Amino acid sequence: LLSVAAGRAQVQQEPSAETTEGSGINISCAHPNINFYDDIYWYRQFPGQGPRLLVHSLMISQELEEPAGRLSVAADRRSSALWLVRPRRGDAAVYYCAVGD
Protein backbone atom coordinates (compact mmCIF):
# COMPACT_ATOMS: atom_id res chain seq x y z
CA LEU A 1 0.00 0.00 0.00
CA LEU A 2 1.37 3.38 -1.04
CA SER A 3 -0.39 6.35 0.50
CA VAL A 4 -0.46 9.91 -0.76
CA ALA A 5 -1.39 13.07 1.14
CA ALA A 6 -1.51 16.74 0.21
CA GLY A 7 1.61 18.58 1.25
CA ARG A 8 0.26 22.13 1.43
CA ALA A 9 -2.65 24.29 0.31
CA GLN A 10 -1.11 25.26 -3.05
CA VAL A 11 -1.02 21.70 -4.32
CA GLN A 12 -3.69 19.08 -4.88
CA GLN A 13 -3.13 15.35 -4.59
CA GLU A 14 -5.37 12.34 -4.45
CA PRO A 15 -5.79 11.22 -0.83
CA SER A 16 -4.52 7.70 -1.49
CA ALA A 17 -3.14 5.34 -4.10
CA GLU A 18 -2.48 1.63 -4.03
CA THR A 19 -0.47 -0.88 -6.00
CA THR A 20 0.90 -4.36 -5.57
CA GLU A 21 4.58 -4.99 -4.96
CA GLY A 22 6.54 -4.73 -8.20
CA SER A 23 3.77 -3.00 -10.15
CA GLY A 24 4.54 0.58 -11.12
CA ILE A 25 2.52 3.43 -9.71
CA ASN A 26 2.06 7.04 -10.78
CA ILE A 27 1.47 9.60 -8.01
CA SER A 28 0.25 12.87 -9.46
CA CYS A 29 0.21 16.39 -8.08
CA ALA A 30 -1.47 19.54 -9.39
CA HIS A 31 0.02 22.93 -8.61
CA PRO A 32 -1.97 25.30 -10.85
CA ASN A 33 -0.81 28.50 -9.15
CA ILE A 34 2.91 27.78 -9.30
CA ASN A 35 5.12 30.83 -9.68
CA PHE A 36 7.85 31.13 -12.29
CA TYR A 37 10.70 30.71 -9.83
CA ASP A 38 9.11 28.03 -7.66
CA ASP A 39 10.74 24.63 -7.40
CA ILE A 40 8.72 21.44 -7.25
CA TYR A 41 9.57 19.18 -4.31
CA TRP A 42 8.61 15.60 -3.57
CA TYR A 43 9.01 14.09 -0.10
CA ARG A 44 8.49 10.67 1.40
CA GLN A 45 7.52 10.08 5.03
CA PHE A 46 7.66 6.73 6.79
CA PRO A 47 5.62 6.10 9.94
CA GLY A 48 7.25 7.62 13.01
CA GLN A 49 9.74 9.63 10.95
CA GLY A 50 9.91 13.11 9.48
CA PRO A 51 9.53 13.72 5.75
CA ARG A 52 12.68 13.31 3.65
CA LEU A 53 13.28 14.97 0.31
CA LEU A 54 13.22 12.55 -2.62
CA VAL A 55 13.72 14.93 -5.52
CA HIS A 56 13.19 18.51 -6.57
CA SER A 57 13.18 20.26 -9.91
CA LEU A 58 12.61 23.71 -11.33
CA MET A 59 11.69 22.85 -14.90
CA ILE A 60 12.75 19.42 -16.06
CA SER A 61 11.95 15.80 -15.47
CA GLN A 62 14.47 13.75 -13.50
CA GLU A 63 15.30 10.13 -12.86
CA LEU A 64 15.20 8.77 -9.29
CA GLU A 65 17.59 6.15 -8.04
CA GLU A 66 16.02 5.30 -4.68
CA PRO A 67 13.27 4.47 -5.02
CA ALA A 68 13.70 3.72 -8.72
CA GLY A 69 11.47 5.98 -10.73
CA ARG A 70 11.08 9.32 -12.42
CA LEU A 71 9.77 12.78 -11.66
CA SER A 72 7.87 14.13 -14.64
CA VAL A 73 7.04 17.83 -14.85
CA ALA A 74 4.41 19.14 -17.27
CA ALA A 75 5.54 21.66 -19.86
CA ASP A 76 3.48 24.40 -18.20
CA ARG A 77 4.73 23.25 -14.75
CA ARG A 78 1.17 23.18 -13.41
CA SER A 79 1.42 19.51 -12.57
CA SER A 80 3.99 16.85 -11.83
CA ALA A 81 3.98 13.14 -11.27
CA LEU A 82 6.20 10.72 -9.41
CA TRP A 83 6.47 7.38 -11.17
CA LEU A 84 7.75 4.49 -9.06
CA VAL A 85 8.88 1.74 -11.40
CA ARG A 86 9.01 -1.32 -9.14
CA PRO A 87 7.81 -0.33 -5.68
CA ARG A 88 8.62 -2.73 -2.88
CA ARG A 89 6.81 -3.25 0.38
CA GLY A 90 9.40 -1.02 2.02
CA ASP A 91 8.34 1.89 -0.19
CA ALA A 92 4.93 2.09 1.48
CA ALA A 93 4.82 5.61 2.88
CA VAL A 94 3.15 8.99 2.58
CA TYR A 95 4.35 10.89 -0.50
CA TYR A 96 4.03 14.68 -0.48
CA CYS A 97 4.54 17.25 -3.18
CA ALA A 98 5.14 20.91 -2.48
CA VAL A 99 6.11 24.02 -4.39
CA GLY A 100 8.16 26.95 -3.22
CA ASP A 101 11.24 29.09 -3.78
- pLDDT score of 66: 86
- pLDDT score of 14: 74
Q: Which of 4-8, 30-34, 45-49, 78-82 has the least mean pLDDT?
A: 4-8
What percentage of the chain's residues is helix, strand, coil (to nearest 5)?
A: 5, 45, 50
For residues 92 and 10, what is the distance between their CA atoms, to the nearest angstrom? 24
Averaged pLDDT for residues 13-28: 79
Does the pLDDT of residue 93 top 70, yes or no? yes
Q: Is the dihedral of CA 76, 78, 81, 82 positive or negative?
A: positive
Domains of the chain: 21-100 (2.60.40.10)
Could you report the per-residue pLDDT of 27-62, keeping only the tens digit for each?
999 999 888 888 999 999 999 999 999 998 887 888
Does the pLDDT of residue 99 top 50, yes or no? yes
Q: Is the dihedral of CA 50, 32, 13, 89 positive or negative?
A: negative
Does the pLDDT of residue 71 top 90, yes or no? yes
User: The pTM is what?
Assistant: 0.83
